[in-house]
Chain A
Amino acid sequence: MTLTVFYLLSALSVFSGLMVVLSRKAVHSVLYLVFCFFTIAGHYLMLNAQFLAAVHVIVYAGAIMVLFLFVIMMLNLNLAAEAQKTPWIKISAVILSGLMLLVLVASVKGAEELSAAQPQNDIGLVKNIGNILFDKYLLPFELISLLLLSAMVGAVLMGRKEPQPQNE
């Protein structure tokens, strides 16, 4: 049963991941990516990492992809106006993503402890994550707030430089 669900979810993730790349329209890609995130959240659930699954849906699917959608709606204006891709861009894209793949494969190959799901392992429950986060990893946690702060300042500076008249 568990194995069947795993294969089903994996097939869906791979399929939606491929569709993200293969769709011609950027907005379709975003939707496929959201779906892909859901399947990955399903994988987290099967590993009993419940909090992580919820965070994955709320932050990635619910917040970051909304931002992506805004950006694409803003930039992807008319299909005719889309920039032509020169062969050089295509070749460099292939090389870059090939390198990325290499790194990913290498990191997976290096990890020896990739054992199967252990439902008895309940480190992924919210309460346990909180205990660890506010005990062992307190400093990184507080530093995150500084990271978020700098991102906020950056966003405000970027947004303010726009001298364009309002569209509304």
Chain B
Amino acid sequence: MDTTEFLIKLILVISVFGISLLIAMYSTYAERKVAAFLQDRLGPNRAGPFGILQPVADGVKMFMKEEIIPANADKFLFIAGPSLMMLTACMTGVVIPWGGELTIGRNTFNLQITDVNIGLLYIFGVVSIGVYGIMIGAWASNNKYSLMGGLRASSQMISYELAMGISIIALVMTTGTLSTKEIVEQQSSWHWNILYQPLGFLIFLVCAFAETNRTPFDLPECETELIGGFHTEYSSMKLGFYLFAEYINMFISSAILATLYFGGYNFPFIESWGLSPNAVTIIGTLLFFGKIFFFIFFFMWVRWTIPRFRYDQLMNLGWKVMIPLALFNLFITGIITLWRNGAF
């Protein structure tokens, strides 16, 4: 890898990082607007036109608040918790194919930062590391509510990780690769995986909700029982990181959903329009973000529509419904794929 290549990667990394932050920022705004719309209110409308500067105001407020580290807390871990949460939230963007190839002059730029053989395993790995941010922060707070919230969060996340893994395996059986780029390329035109893996998509979607701790799976922070859950003791930007990481996770989950099941940057019949390759790439990327925004909206829609689960319901759903269902999906996928390949 020479210097120019390194610089290109660096620029790509910084832009993906920046875009994730920007979208997460405006997701907080969108969430409040969507909530307001669903509840027949106006939502934030004071900071700037239509309240468009609200996220900036929130950010500044977070910075200016007093930083409180409880006397009983473990200082190092108390700071490490939200930092880890933020770090893991940002890491997945590296393997997502944000678009095809752009040709500028004689150089071709790939809009994916890196395409590795084990792309899906990498995503799975980052998801499995996501538990630490919450657990460490919750334990370091030395607060009973935080501890309960952290325990709930971590057991919920690890429980749903299993079903998520099995649903991905059914997908891999049909694609035969773990590279995200190849999975997207296989879904060219209208051959989206949602058509071949509807049940797998459903399982993955539910698990994505559980992994991001979004309603109806937001028991770790249900304020009626646990005050703030794992971030009860947090203030200033450390609280900001926890809240912010949730929105980044939501953005990344939406991107993964769109990549794996909704064709990524592919769109039906785009080839027949006779556009130049660069135009196709740009339209594809825009459409990809369109799909992502749809899923982000879906996350919010569900949050303001469906009530929260009870803890035993949550665990039962994870272990006694999702896992058998995912295994069933795997079985059916295997049978159908073999039948289509003429094994019987």
Contact = CB atoms under 8 A, between A and B. Distances in A.
- The finding on whether chains A and B are genuine partners in a shared complex, rather than unrelated, reads yes
Interface of A: 1, 25, 27-28, 31, 34, 50-51, 53-55, 57-58, 61-63, 66, 69-70, 73, 125-126, 168
B135 A58 contact: no
Interface in B124-151: 124-125, 127-129, 131-132, 135-136, 139-140, 147-148
Contacts of A125: 117
A27 B139 contact: yes
A50 B179 CA distance: 12
Given A51-B121, A63-B158, A58 B132 contact: no
B194 interface: no
A28 B77 contact: yes
A125 B131 CA distance: 27
Interface string B92-125: 0000000000000000000000001110011011
Contacts of B77: 27-28, 31
B74 interface: yes
12 contacts: A27-B140, A28-B77, A50-B118, A54-B124, A55-B121, A57-B128, A58-B125, A63-B128, A66-B154, A73-B139, A126-B121, A168-B311
Interface residues of B, number: 27
A62 B135 CA distance: 12
Nearest to A122: B117
Given A66-B154, A125-B117, A54 B135 contact: no
Interface of B: 1, 74, 76-77, 80, 116-118, 121-122, 124-125, 127-129, 131-132, 135-136, 139-140, 147-148, 154, 158, 178, 311
A121 to B, nearest CB: 14
B117 A50 contact: yes
Contacts of A55: 121
Identify the 6 closest CB pairs spanning chains A and B, nearest first. A62-B128, A54-B121, A57-B125, A54-B118, A58-B125, A50-B118
B117 A58 contact: no
A117 to B, nearest CB: 16
A25 B74 contact: yes
Given A66-B158, A126-B178, A61 B74 contact: no
